[in-house]
Structure 1
């Protein structure tokens, strides 16, 4: 099973840019978080939802100025609306926002190879269903992919969505087996750990993927990889397609 953002598509210039825009807007241009600021927040393992991450960065900025959260009374829906205006764009029917320019990190043939190897696959993502389907169906051309999205389950690291994805895959005639969850954040790896705590009847393997914006320097990559390993990743790759059928068998 795969996370989507940072694994299937590069969101450094879309979701993360929308976070920075949103925080900058609601702090009246006083603070625009850097990619490092966002990575630091994400490394806490609690902020998989980018709307909530935006709100948290806004809160923390004002707290650094001596204000309390109670004083601010931020309107969460206003934060969501502004974020979406940047990410999806201003046209609700024909999206024209940052999502339109996300580089893909995988090819359709990768999933064909998994299927040919008898490996069941699906997606569990904190992205909205519309956003996830935009990349999976419209961009990658996948046919009716198995997907549990934001609307379908609690946010990570709660493993409810992971179990739901497994149930759909196994109902597609794949017997109870080893589960790989491929993600790019600490929260993704925590999700695997929590799933293992709740169901030790199968083997769980957390697979970390380094998102493109972290691969600028070897030092950055190594530090990020170590955080994923500390959070529970068994192995870390630079690209999801390195998790081919050969490596999957080697990891079982």
Structure 2
């Protein structure tokens, strides 16, 4: 198990890694994204089920990081396209979404969340700790959902800023709060924040953080999520770079302690 409160402190190393979770740490193409499509299909009376590409197009707008709100928006746009106005209670959307994502069992064993493949590994985070790199998480997922995957990775007492703790991305408050919490557990203050995410909203969060608190240096690391097919990966990488990514990787596992981040434009 990894105790994040026991992260090594190296006076020569002032980098702090902050990770998004969905699409970076775990593959949510068959869980969150499937529940989103299910929800839109249900509330459009089975008339419309968004494709993965259509979901990506919505998220490329940079403001639909919350999948409940993204579901609501796609439902609204569908009916607007028909020239109709519909009023569907947001709480009903959330409840249906969660019934698919979490399932009906108290342990969520019958929900989509139980089938999520892990992208990162326990050993990966241990390698960061061994190298003296401090790390934590800023995610738009609920605390319960984020904690579910971190427990699977055997991460104990994680630094985690979740949906309940800060405004949604691209607001940078949660990112900076995570860094503040990480700094409270180590000797040397952070100078370079490395934020790792898979969406346009994640990259815009880094841009907004630079403006909000320029006392730090920043690197935005874009990661191509697993659902993006091979023929669309270059396009997706370009989209992340257009919206602020300093580098784009095929997997979070490529972000090793040895990777040179000093060539990033923001360093």
TM-score, normalised via structure 1 length: 0.95
Aligned residues: 246
Decide which of 215, 228, 239 is 1:201's aligned counterpart. 215
User: What secondary structure is seen at the aligned counterpart in 2 of 1:122?
Assistant: strand
Q: How does 1:22-171 map to 2 (within 5 A)?
A: 22-68=39-85, 72-137=86-151, 139-171=152-184
**Hey, what does 2:6 align to over in structure 1?**
none
Task: Report deviation, 1:92.
Answer: 3.1
Provide the C-alpha distance between the structure 1 equivalents of 2:64 and 2:91, rounded to a whole number of angstroms: 17
Provide the C-alpha distance between the structure 1 equivalents of 2:43 and 2:262, rounded to a whole number of angstroms: 48
Task: Report deviation, 1:93.
Answer: 3.9
Distance 1:223 1:10, change over 3 A: same
Q: Which has the higher strand share?
A: 2
Structure 2 spans left out of the alignment, 5+ residues: 1-17
TM-score, normalised via structure 2 length: 0.90
Report the RMSD for the aligned CA atoms in angstroms.
Answer: 1.1
Structure 1 spans left out of the alignment, 5+ residues: none
Provide the C-alpha distance between the structure 1 equivalents of 2:81 and 2:67, rounded to a whole number of angstroms: 21
Provide the C-alpha distance between the structure 2 equivalents of 1:150 and 1:94, rounded to a whole number of angstroms: 19
Higher relative contact order (CA 8 A, sep 6+): 2
Q: Deviations over 1:33-81 (max 9, x none)?
A: 000110000000000000000000000000000013xxx1210000000
The ranges of structure 1 where at least 4 consecutive aligned residues each deviate by more than 6 angstroms after the TM superposition are none
